[in-house]
Amino acid sequence: MIFKRELKRNLKSLIIWSVVLSGLILLTLSIYPQFAEQQNEMNKLLESYPEPIKKVFGMNELNLGELMGFYGVEIYMMTTLLGSIYSAILASNILAKEENEKTIEFLLSKPVGRSRIVTEKLLAVFVNILILNGVSTITSIIGFQFADDPDVPTDTFTLLAVATILLHLTFGAIALMLSSMLKKTRSIMSVSLGIVLAAYFMNVMAGISEDLEVLKYFSPFKYVDAAQIINDNKLEPLYMFIMAAVIFISVITSYMVYRKKDIAV
């Protein structure tokens, strides 16, 4: 009941985010053929970019004249960042909004425990994130057809898709934990979005300055770096373990806190 209700309540935002993200992916991939044709001119242009900027976006390790390299630099950045923002917004509201909208009394009057409430809302977050990623993956495959040679390494593309889902689940789990702790949805959303943007900013700063390179270890965006995945054709086990641990701890904490939370009805 709660799971289906959450899917319906979040359907509109899911559709909007999916349409916008799909449009950006198709629009960007549609310019790849012209980009590939003018590769020499583009390479000269990119050479004029400051080295730190090229390092941040992986331009120093990926070939923009190749479809996989273009995807890693141009598309992957959008799907990871925008998807993380969506996940944070979705999960940050999912528990606390019941108190803000005064619907928690209705839920608690039903023969359902708090653990079940968290479980079904968690499943709703998980399904929404999977759907958004599924849409962006299918759209990317469609967008590849713009290229003269649309074939991309299936294993590498799959690794990028898995890394993106893990990243989104990481921020979603953190936002869910905050939603279980705090009461005001605006505050939770602000903190959740702040965490996403701060993580992205740390990744950028780590790329720009060698003195700040240590910051990359605190940013999940670095854990799913496109250049590393494409060039090595693998996911770094340590980084995957860290994200899985963050997801696990955040989810368990959500259950523990919400079961003991003083909820005013």
Task: Please report, rounded to a whole number, the percentage of residues in the chain having pLDDT higher than 90.
Answer: 49
CB 230 within 8 A of CB 152: no
Question: What token pair was written down for 154?
Answer: 């299936």
How many residues are recorded in the chain?
A: 265
**What's the pTM value of the predicted model, to 2 decimals?**
0.90
Given a cut of 90, is residue 100 above it in pLDDT?
Answer: no
Average pLDDT over the chain reads 85
Given a cut of 80, is residue 32 above it in pLDDT?
Answer: yes
Given a cut of 90, is residue 59 above it in pLDDT?
Answer: no
**CA atoms of 232 and 230, how far apart (whole Å):** 6
CA torsion sign, 67 to 155 to 16 to 179?
Answer: negative
Helices (H), 64-113: 67-70, 76-94, 96-100, 104-108
CB 129 within 8 A of CB 105: no
**DSSP secondary structure, 46-68, as one string:** HHTS-HHHHHHTTTTTS-TTSHH
Please enumerate in sequence order all residues whose Cβ is within 8 A of that of 174, keeping only pairs 6 or more positions apart, or say none.
Answer: 88, 91, 192, 195, 246, 250
Q: What is the pLDDT of residue 101?
A: 60
Given a cut of 70, is residue 17 above it in pLDDT?
Answer: yes
Given its phi and psi angles, is residue 233 left (phi above 0), alpha (psi -120 to 50 degrees) or beta?
Answer: left
**CA atoms of 229 and 109, how far apart (whole Å):** 49
CB 147 within 8 A of CB 221: no
CB 55 within 8 A of CB 226: no
Given a cut of 60, is residue 265 above it in pLDDT?
Answer: no
The domains of the chain are located at: 2-32+74-260
Q: What is the pLDDT of residue 15?
A: 97
CA torsion sign, 132 to 137 to 140 to 141?
Answer: negative
Helix (H) or strand (E) holding 203: helix 185-208
Region 78-83: mean pLDDT is 95
Region 42-57: mean pLDDT is 64
Q: What is the pLDDT of residue 36?
A: 74
Given a cut of 90, is residue 103 above it in pLDDT?
Answer: no
**CA atoms of 246 and 207, how far apart (whole Å):** 23
